[in-house]
Amino acid sequence: MELTPAFSGLVCTDCGSNFTVDVDQRCPDCEGVLEPTYEYDSVTPADLFDGGTTTGQWRFDALLPFGRDSAVTAAEGETPLVAADRLVDELGVGEVYIKDEGRNPTGTVYDRGMSLAVTALSDHDDPDSLEPLALASTGNSGQSAAAYVGRLGLRSYAFVPSRSAFSNKAMINVHGGQMRVVGGRYADAASAVDDQLATDYYSLQEFTTPYRHEGAKTVAFELYADLDELPDVVFIPTSTGELVAGIAKGFEELTEIGATEETPTIVAVQPTSCGPIAAAFDRGLDEPEPWAHPDTIIGELEVTDPAGGAEAVDALRRLDGAAVTVDDSDSLESATAIAQHEVIEMGAAGGAAAAGAWNWQEADQFSGDETVVLLNTESAVKTPDVLRSHLMGQGV
Ligand SMILES: [Zn+2]
């Protein structure tokens, strides 16, 4: 694939070694996470935002590793930023928008990073040698991986826990991916990848490929492009850490190229019953401790030992962010209320963003004139059963 002019390779975030794109998993020296880097002095805001006629996130390829002409893409990104005026009064803030990532090709924000991760493989000398490609997933990223790897015609495996949503399992197969359903929870699926694949494989796991969190940063670019300025507070449903780390990097890059001077407040929202990143942030730890007894009905957010936990905590500290935990019932209530009043089909995981904003309102954390963004990370069609059963539990 074509590398972009400003891209200057991958750097290990642990030992500082530099690598070309030929080394595109963890650091071969120390197993650290590799981070794409750029010559920011060579990129202007006009370079980043004058994207021509390209549809989707690849219009921002001035700050992506690969050029739009070589992208493996289904026009992911460029999702609507929808004004939610009723919530303005309810939250007591200036403006509220829902960034609806449910409208990505496979209904998830993870399509952004998967498009980058698969593009990295698109002109490989010997593509068959990459097989199988594999990852563990709570569901959405496995579905996305099956879809994008299908564009290369290669074999992929998604390891999902038995509790993963039926729609995810079905669509992994519909997209042509292989699936292993692992009894138990996400941690069981994660450990099954090495146990069950008796061969080398190419990992599409977040923070093993350097590109999945890199794709998430285009959310930050789009928020700036749509609002002509940055929002003040962004609520992000948080599981693996890749969205917090990626979106924070995007905001920081806008300051690096001189588009803005400040970054928004990022609020990581996790379930009360599985909040390792929030706990680490609140306790001043550099890295989350694995959550021992998870118990959330929102399977997408049940990641007990997040691969990007340290990166997410670090990003929250750099950007003077915050972390909150919310009860499942509040997340589901928020998602159904938004479906009933704001049209948008907010997934169960997305509902956590709105519940987090309510948490802030109740704690008197808003000053009253903020522009607030709620990141809806997935479409409600992923988990209509979970949302409907919440209503039935209310006697509806
Ligand atoms: Zn290293």
Residue 201, in any domain of the structure: no
Task: Give me ligand 1 centre to Cα 165, in Å.
Answer: 36
Q: Is residue 203 part of a domain?
A: no
Phi, psi at 215, each rounded to 5° = -65, -35
**Phi–psi pair at 207, nearest 5 degrees:** 70, 5
Q: What is the pLDDT of residues 117-176, one digit of tens each?
A: 999 999 898 989 999 999 999 999 999 999 999 999 999 999 999 999 999 999 999 999
308 alpha carbon to ligand 1 midpoint, in Å? 16
Give dist(CA 292, CA 39) in Å, integer: 42
For 131-195, the DSSP string reads PSEEEE-SSHHHHHHHHHHHHHT--EEEEEETTS-HHHHHHHHHTT-EEEEESS-HHHHHHHHHH
Domain span holding position 342: 81-108+212-393
φ/ψ (deg, to 5) at 122: -75, -25
DSSP category for residue 290: P
Position 51 confidence tier, pLDDT thresholds 50, 70, 90? confident
C-alpha 240 – ligand 1 centre gap (Å) = 21
Which secondary-structure segment (H or E) carries 113? helix 110-119
Give a yes or no: residue 65 inside a domain.
Answer: no
Burial 140-171 (b: 16+ CB within 10 A, else e): bbbbbbbbbbbbbebbbbbbbbebbbebbbeb
Give dist(CA 110, CA 212) in Å, integer.
8
CATH number of the domain within which 361 lies: 3.40.50.1100
Between CA 42 and CA 50, with CA 48 as vertex, the angle to 5 degrees is 125
Q: State the distance from the centre of ligand 1 to the C-alpha of 18, rounded, in angstroms.
A: 9
**Has residue 289 been placed in a domain?**
yes
Token pair of 111 as six digits: 């399509």
**Would 277 be classed as within a structural domain?**
yes
What does the pLDDT read at residue 294?
96
Average pLDDT value for residue range 232-253: 98
Which protein residues have their CB within 5 A of the ion that is ligand 1? 12, 14-15, 27, 29-30, 32
User: What confidence tens digit (pLDDT) does each residue in 187-230 have?
Assistant: 999 999 999 998 899 999 999 999 999 999 999 999 999 999 99
Mean of pLDDT values over 36-47: 98
Report the C-alpha gap between 311 and 299 in whole angstroms. Answer: 22
Residue 275 maps to a domain:
yes
Question: How distant, in Å, are the alpha carbons of 79, 297, 373 from that of 282?
Answer: 32, 23, 22
Question: Degrees (nearest 5) of the Cα angle 43, 46, 51?
Answer: 105
Q: Mean pLDDT throughout 318-330?
A: 98
Give the per-residue pLDDT at 123: 85
Number of domains in the chain: 1
Whether 380 contacts 347, CB under 8 Å: yes
3-state secondary structure of 377: coil
At 195, list the tokens: 């146990």
Residue 60 belongs to a domain: no
Token pair belonging to 331 = 């997340």
pLDDT at 339: 96
How far does the centroid of ligand 1 lie from the alpha carbon of residue 33, in Å? 7
Residue 52 maps to a domain: no
Q: Is the pLDDT of residue 96 over 80?
A: yes
State percent of the chain over pLDDT 70.
100
pLDDT value at 394 more than 90: no
Query: What band does 256 get if pLDDT is binned at 50, 70 and 90?
Result: very high
The stretch 102-107 carries a mean pLDDT of 98
Identify the pLDDT of residue 297. 96
